[in-house]
Amino acid sequence: MSRQHLYLFGRFRLNKNQRTLFYGETLVHLESMAVDVLLALLARKGNVMNKEEMALEIWRQDLVEDATIHTQIRKIRTALEAHDETRYIENHAKRGYSFLDSSRWTGMVKEEWQETGTPGSGSAEKQILLLPPAPDLFIGREQDLDALKGCLGITLDGRIPATAQPVVVVRGPPGVGKSSVAAALAHHPETREAFRGGVLWVSLGQEPKLQNILASWGRELGTDELLKSKTLTESTESLKKLLGEKRFLLIVDDVWETAHAEAFKKARGSECVLLFTTRVTTVATEIAPRHLYPEGIYLLPDLSEETALELLARLAPRAVTKYEQESRELVRDLQFLPLALLVAGRTLDAEEKLGVGWSVRQMLVALRTGAEIIRQTAPANMTDLENETTPTVAALLRMSTDRLDQSTRDCFAALGAFRSTPATFDLRVLTKFWKMKDPMPVVRALVGHGLLEPVRTGEFQMHALLRALARSMLK
């Protein structure tokens, strides 16, 4: 029998033993360090915890920079306020922080202890689930989910098929929905059943702090020992021992460098399965197991025309119903890319609410070039929690072009002058257009960064949204 220590406030439920936070039945994602800070503040029962106490108790150091503490406080506030506008974390100038304050604590926070399980029951060990929220809208990806479940060895009868792969890479252009598909897969009941240990998730980005990430996974597994590791090699070896023969799904989202992925491959336990997502073609090729290439890479396609229209209709139902043909032309011009459709749907819905019918039709036309879309902010699930900002669509796409050298970037921008949809180029056209004898080095760089896709021998295609970005760079 185990005794679970719970904190209840508003509709939130924080389990101290399992280190999980729920709002109603929804899991609220908090990084491990933020959970530590939240638990420490709750333990003070509304009293102020000064920064020196926080440094010693949470970070086990004599001194921690104010910015480090503030970052964790900001993450907690962002996570809580996404569900409840109550300001739970109080800032006391030159003193520290408190959870609410002592005058409001008694009426707003409850502590409970619950007994779970019975002695000798042999109940299964609690699954560890470190996940982002499940996607709000998930349309047209059933076949992709089924295909990935097959790759990962997820079956209804619980048997692991011979075709299951220890490492799977999901690749696709920016905005195609790799993270959403991975999140939906992680939340799927069959995934939970197949990976009894649980699911661990991280989204890397371009400059990940790998040792910190591995240490946070170690904390989820119940130990702070990885915090003592002096090198990345020590961290990977320690995590591998922790995982042992337990069956976990390890999801490493948004990989930009092969070396970053290799750290997780080295840390993988013998019964664990790794799922990577990346927009970078060369990275996908390098991290996929050589003996499984190309089967080890799952190229996530765009939506079909019908599912793209369905997604747009879910976001802007009145606009699509009233202007179905124009809406169908829009999804075709956007080449059925989920990110473009999400932004377009949100924009159309806002225009519809203005109550000016002709402006909706004008907006449908304006969105078709992609220029209006890349100026918009990205969907909320792409918010940068570290800086509390949501980037524009253009900023998300420029993360790829910023990694090119200036000459290659200029060649990419020049492709924005093409007006055909889809924008398809062969080597003969590129030779003349770029005025170079051999365009292949530039083509390889653009393909390697996921900015061009090979479609046939000697032919390459640029996605509509990337072409809009290229056109904006010309200006």
Measured between its terminal Cα atoms, the distance across the chain in Å is 67
Q: What confidence score (pLDDT) does residue 301 get?
A: 93
Distance CA 141, CA 152 (A): 16
Distance CA 470, CA 330 (A): 19
Q: What confidence score (pLDDT) does residue 106 get?
A: 77
Q: What confidence score (pLDDT) does residue 404 get?
A: 95
CATH 3.40.50.300 range(s) for the chain read: 128-299
Per-residue pLDDT of the chain (475 residues; tens, 9 = 90+): 446 788 999 889 898 877 888 888 777 888 778 888 999 999 998 899 999 999 888 887 778 888 889 989 999 999 998 888 888 999 998 889 999 887 787 778 888 887 554 333 333 456 777 788 788 788 999 999 999 998 888 876 656 666 678 899 999 999 999 999 999 999 888 888 889 899 999 999 898 999 989 998 998 888 888 988 999 999 999 999 999 989 999 999 999 999 999 999 999 999 999 999 999 999 999 998 765 556 679 999 999 999 999 999 999 898 899 999 999 999 999 999 999 999 999 888 888 877 655 578 888 888 888 888 888 887 766 655 455 556 888 988 999 999 999 999 999 999 988 877 678 988 999 999 999 999 999 999 999 999 999 887 888 999 889 999 999 998 6
Q: Which two tokens stand for residue 10?
A: 């508003």
At residue 396, the 3 state secondary structure works out as helix
Q: φ and ψ at 400, to 5 degrees? A: -80, -45
Architecture of the CATH domain 128-299: 3-Layer(aba) Sandwich (3.40)
pLDDT in tens, 239-258: 999 999 899 999 999 999 99
Q: What confidence score (pLDDT) does residue 119 get?
A: 37
CATH number of 386-474: 1.10.10.10
pLDDT in tens, 438-463: 999 999 999 999 999 988 788 899 98
CATH 1.10.10.10 range(s) for the chain read: 2-116, 386-474
Kindly give the residue spans of alpha helices, DSSP state H, lying in 20-125.
32-43, 51-54, 66-81, 102-108
Architecture of the CATH domain 2-116: Orthogonal Bundle (1.10)
- Its pTM stands at 0.72
What strands lie across the sheet with 273-278, from one edge to the other?
Answer: 128-130, 198-203, 248-253, 273-278, 167-171, 297-299
What count of other Cβ atoms lies within 10 Å of the Cβ of residue 317? 14
Q: What confidence score (pLDDT) does residue 172 get?
A: 94
